[in-house]
Structure 1
Amino acid sequence: MGTPIVIAKKTTNTQQDVVLHAQFANRHGLIAGATGTGKTVTLKVLAENFSRIGVPVFLADAKGDVSSLAKAGESNPKFEERIKSLNIDSVPFAASPVVFWDLLGQQGHPIRTTVSEIGPLLLARMLNLNETQEGVLSAVFRIADDQGLLLIDFKDLKAMLTHVSEHAADYKAEYGNLSPASLGAIQRNLLALADQGGDQFFGEPALNILDFIQTDSQGRGNINLLAADKLMNTPKLYATFLLWMLSELFEQLPEVGDLDKPKLVFFFDEAHLLFDNASSALQEKIEQVVRLIRSKGVGIYFVTQNPLDLPESVLGQLGNRVQHALRAFTPKDQKAVKTAADTFRANPEFKVDQAITELGVGEALISCLDEQGIPQIVERAWIMPPYSSFSPISFDERKVLMSQSVLAGVYEQAVDRESAFEMLQNKVQQSQQQAQADAFSKQYAKQQESFAKQQAKEQERLAREQQKKAERAAKQREKLIQDTVGTFAKSAARSLGGSTGQKIVRGLLGSLFGKK
């Protein structure tokens, strides 16, 4: 049997406790109510109680005031008056073990994950893409997988989009039409996300989600506090990040069935952001995670102003409910009051819808599952006071706690290993080098061809010159012979004298020159 957690005192009889049974804390819950009605204090009380029984907690600090969990509370006249009205003698003020996280890495340990881990569905929501653009983004992821290109950080995704844009025609036959307009829209939205700081979320070392499921040396569950005051300026990033965390928990944690207490309790503040403009596919995924994750020992508590912020399919799965005051000034407000009232098991002592509009600050309508897991009748009650301070800690105090954390230094230094950006750069460089090599080969071939032609011409010229030399030499030999023979003949004639000599010469010359 799990530990009963006292979360409130009945309004009509402060001697009676309103409890939440730890073994059913994984049946999820809702904390709702208008601004200023006490939701944050309720959240703190639940988080502190879970921590004290050894259950780790994750919650987002949307306004910066939940950091007060890390500092022990202190008494004041107003506080003493409140606990006296609840018949409480004293409160054992104490700080809770808090681990600070921040997607931007400024007010806590950085949180990163890879682009591949986020996947196209959640990334499309983060970038606010339509269905056509989401389909193109899915194709880009598929191309990266098929080519072994790791999508780790922001520049990987940008490089991949650029690559696909430049080769869209090559991929069309296998992956369908990759519209330049859709690719351009994705790239523009990616740049807008980077301007908002979203690029810091992608990278390594990636968060080990199991680091959220830790206890301190005293056996208390760590309260993992996400600094979300700046993150709330980018609600899509905030909501998608928390949904990714739930998905990671669902995928990584084993089935455990029913436990005496949850392995982790997850508070989803500003829960309406999760469902705003969610596609049917995404909403179906959210509903599936909420429905099945309790079997992994995880309880989800949605914190929002209006129960209408949650789909009925989700609202019906929440077994533990704390409803603070709602105002019914407009028809929409009145509908919200009626919706909230209808989700409770009625109490014959008061009208639920009327009570919702009459609740004081710190007062709530509460219904939790009993020892058999059956919803109890709704009770009107005052929330217990927290053990921690009401004032947020200073930045210097936060820095000290961060430096003392067991996770100090684990995630602070980013790692940039070879991935799609570098691989595509290498491909471009190799392509350029190949193009340069081909150009050099062509130029070399042209030069060789030109050189061969020049050699051939030179050989022809030399041959002609040799031929001319041979012809001149032949003429010179012929002339020399003629000159020699003529000289010989004249000499012979003079030697022989008379006509006989002349006849001999004529006969000799006729023989030599073919004359008769």
Structure 2
Amino acid sequence: MSKTEDFIKHITEGYTCKGEFITLGGGILDGEAVPNTHVKIPLKTLNRHGLIAGATGTGKTKTIQVLSEQLSLNGIPVLMMDIKGDFSGIAMPGEEKSFITERHGKITLPYETKAFPVELMTISEQNGVRLRATVSEFGPVLFSRILDLNDTQSGVVSIIFKYCDDNSLPLLDLKDFKKVLNYATEEGKAEFEAEYGRISTSSTGSILRKIIELEQQGAELFFGEKSFDIQDLMRVDENGNGYVNIMRLTDIQDKPKLFSTFMLSLLAEIYNTMPEQGDAGRPELVIFIDEAHLIFDEASKALLNQIETIVKLIRSKGIGVYFITQNPMDVPTGVLAQLGLKIQHALRAFTANDRKAIKMTAENYPDTDFYETDEVLTSLGIGEAFVTALSEKGTPTPLVATMMRAPMSRMDVLTESEIEVSIAKSKLAKKYNEVLDRESAYELLNKKIAEAQEVAAEQEAEKPTRKAKEEPSTTEVIGKSITKVVTSASFIRGAFGLLMKMFKR
């Protein structure tokens, strides 16, 4: 048997699928595409997460586009974190060109052009369906981890949440939380100490500085109402194609704290909301996180641990998470170990450190008799990549250099006018883009403080004006005694009224 025949047999057997699957492309041997060596990924393993890596300009974005198209065609919705802003063209059909036809001829796959159902979303000032979450939905533990608080500060956050629960004060946005935080050490100090113990101003000051840091990255646009229902990410259109939800994030590359906050809250909400799927045979949703290093570079150890935990557990809910980055080393080892599908585009070796990184990357892939992995990694062409996945039995498939199929949709971005038309047609934009600011902790505490100040002012006004010191007559002495009794009674009634108002709230 020749080397080529052995390769065809090896790939055909390794990528055989009895159930549903998507096809990424065809195998490459000695730099040439080999017909009928299709690289197939079972749908049932796509909730086992993945990595798409490679140097700039090697074809990562087009690979994500291909994966999203194939998932959509199978009725599986997608959420794409579009940091660079180069993914929106999936909403329009592509254009058949000679180099695309030639590529598909080499890998023996048919080609057609097609548009896909798209929702454009945002957590910033960009145009799109606005995603928000309330502070209370985070809960004290997750909110503390996002702010990178120590144990003492986290305890204060838990007390703030408990106080708001006990007193029916909705925590919707950051101004609500800051108001309660200030109240705990100022106007409401005595109330807090009586019920929950003393809260130090140094702790509240540190927490406030962390919140301001988050606000400076634009978090006030994310925290609030109307909260996004993650079920709206799971839609399919009238033709049975899954929606491709594109999160427009081109203006938050310098705001990693906001990005980490959003991603962690989204994954936590999906995990807490979605039912256990078991062996469902296909994922409910696949999430692509472009420029994944933005999540990990600025994340605290506690935040990284939380992300790693959710990534481990969320696959049981039928959710696949795929990280896109230039270097696999950008992803923490604990997360990297959870990734079943790996698509590795070319890496560039400009320095000694680059060469060491390439050798380390090569060691993360299965052994193969057909490639010198570290050498091929530097010679892969645009739109070519090493692929290894999980078979239907959950075992790693053979490592194969793959010529990726071309996207069916437009390989370019939407124009501004096309974006406006898309959002104008969106049912979700009508649902979520209305600004809500109902009465919450901020307004309710302001009322409470104003009422307390009004009562105090009334008490002060009721006190008798002190006269200049004179020798009092017998009649005046008797009068003063009577006045003291009356004044004491008035004071007690006023104070009792204040307490009743405070405890009625």
Structure 1 length-normalised TM: 0.81
Runs of 5+ consecutive residues of structure 1 not aligned to the other structure: 461-516
The alpha-carbon deviation at position 189 of structure 1 amounts to 4.0
Which residues of 2 match residues 35-434 of structure 1 at below 5 A? Answer: 35-88=56-109, 91-104=111-124, 106-124=126-144, 126-127=146-147, 133-166=153-186, 170=190, 171=192, 178-434=199-455
* Mapped contact 1:307–1:339 kept (Cα < 8 A): no
* Mapped contact 1:307–1:336 kept (Cα < 8 A): no
State the aligned residue count: 453
2:27 to 10, 19, 24: 10
**Cα-to-partner distance string for 1:99-149 (whole Å, 9 max, x where unaligned):** 111112532111111011123454445546566655544443344334432
Question: Partner letter of residue 131 of structure 2?
Answer: I
Residue in structure 2 matched with residue 482 of structure 1 by the alignment: none
* Mapped contact 2:146–2:261 kept (Cα < 8 A): yes
The alpha-carbon deviation at position 280 of structure 1 amounts to 3.5
In structure 2, the residue corresponding to 1:231 is in which secondary structure?
Answer: coil
In structure 2, the residue corresponding to 1:101 is in which secondary structure?
Answer: strand
Question: Partner letter of residue 118 of structure 1?
Answer: F
The alpha-carbon deviation at position 231 of structure 1 amounts to 2.2
Indicate how the Cα distance of structure 1 residues 186 and 112 shifts in structure 2: closer, same or farther if over 3 A, else same. same
Moved more, 27-36 or 267-276: 267-276
Runs of 5+ consecutive residues of structure 2 not aligned to the other structure: 1-17, 479-505
**Cα-to-partner distance string for 1:443-476 (whole Å, 9 max, x where unaligned):** xxx27999xxx99969x9xxxxxxxxxxxxxxxx
Larger radius of gyration: 1
State the distance in 1 between where 2:362 and 2:250 align. Answer: 31
The alpha-carbon deviation at position 8 of structure 1 amounts to 1.7
Q: Which runs of 4+ in 1 moved over 6 A?
A: 447-450, 454-458
Which residues of 2 match residues 437-476 of structure 1 at below 5 A? Answer: 437-442=458-463, 446=464
State the distance in 2 between where 1:115 and 1:305 align. Answer: 33
State the distance in 2 between where 1:172 and 1:321 align. Answer: 54
The alpha-carbon deviation at position 236 of structure 1 amounts to 1.3
State the distance in 1 between where 2:334 and 2:129 align. Answer: 35
The alpha-carbon deviation at position 190 of structure 1 amounts to 2.9
State the distance in 2 between where 1:14 and 1:431 align. Answer: 81
Residue in structure 2 matched with residue 511 of structure 1 by the alignment: none
In structure 2, the residue corresponding to 1:265 is in which secondary structure?
Answer: strand
* Mapped contact 1:2–1:261 kept (Cα < 8 A): no
State the distance in 1 between where 2:402 and 2:19 align. Answer: 22
The alpha-carbon deviation at position 158 of structure 1 amounts to 2.2
State the distance in 1 between where 2:474 and 2:66 align. Answer: 98
**Cα-to-partner distance string for 1:218-259 (whole Å, 9 max, x where unaligned):** 111111110010122211111220121111111001111011
State the distance in 1 between where 2:413 and 2:52 align. Answer: 21
State the distance in 2 between where 1:133 and 1:448 align. Answer: 48
Indicate how the Cα distance of structure 1 residues 131 and 275 shifts in structure 2: closer, same or farther if over 3 A, else same. farther
* Mapped contact 2:146–2:303 kept (Cα < 8 A): no
* Mapped contact 2:358–2:374 kept (Cα < 8 A): yes
**Cα-to-partner distance string for 1:17-49 (whole Å, 9 max, x where unaligned):** 111110111111111111111111111110111
Indicate how the Cα distance of structure 1 residues 93 and 187 shifts in structure 2: closer, same or farther if over 3 A, else same. same
In structure 2, the residue corresponding to 1:23 is in which secondary structure?
Answer: helix
Indicate how the Cα distance of structure 1 residues 235 and 125 shifts in structure 2: closer, same or farther if over 3 A, else same. farther
Question: Partner letter of residue 120 of structure 2?
Answer: F
Residue in structure 2 matched with residue 465 of structure 1 by the alignment: none
Indicate how the Cα distance of structure 1 residues 99 and 126 shifts in structure 2: closer, same or farther if over 3 A, else same. same
In structure 2, the residue corresponding to 1:26 is in which secondary structure?
Answer: coil
State the distance in 1 between where 2:266 and 2:310 align. Answer: 11
Question: Partner letter of residue 116 of structure 1?
Answer: S
* Mapped contact 1:105–1:111 kept (Cα < 8 A): no
Indicate how the Cα distance of structure 1 residues 309 and 131 shifts in structure 2: closer, same or farther if over 3 A, else same. farther
Question: Partner letter of residue 410 of structure 2?
Answer: S
**Cα-to-partner distance string for 1:353-386 (whole Å, 9 max, x where unaligned):** 2221221111100001122221111000111100
Q: Percent identity, please.
A: 41
Structure 2 length-normalised TM: 0.83
Moved more, 300-309 or 51-60: 300-309
In structure 2, the residue corresponding to 1:299 is in which secondary structure?
Answer: strand
* Mapped contact 2:96–2:112 kept (Cα < 8 A): no
* Mapped contact 1:125–1:236 kept (Cα < 8 A): no
Residue in structure 1 matched with residue 491 of structure 2 by the alignment: none
The alpha-carbon deviation at position 172 of structure 1 amounts to 5.8
Moved more, 400-409 or 76-85: 76-85
**Cα-to-partner distance string for 1:76-105 (whole Å, 9 max, x where unaligned):** 34444444444455x211111011111125
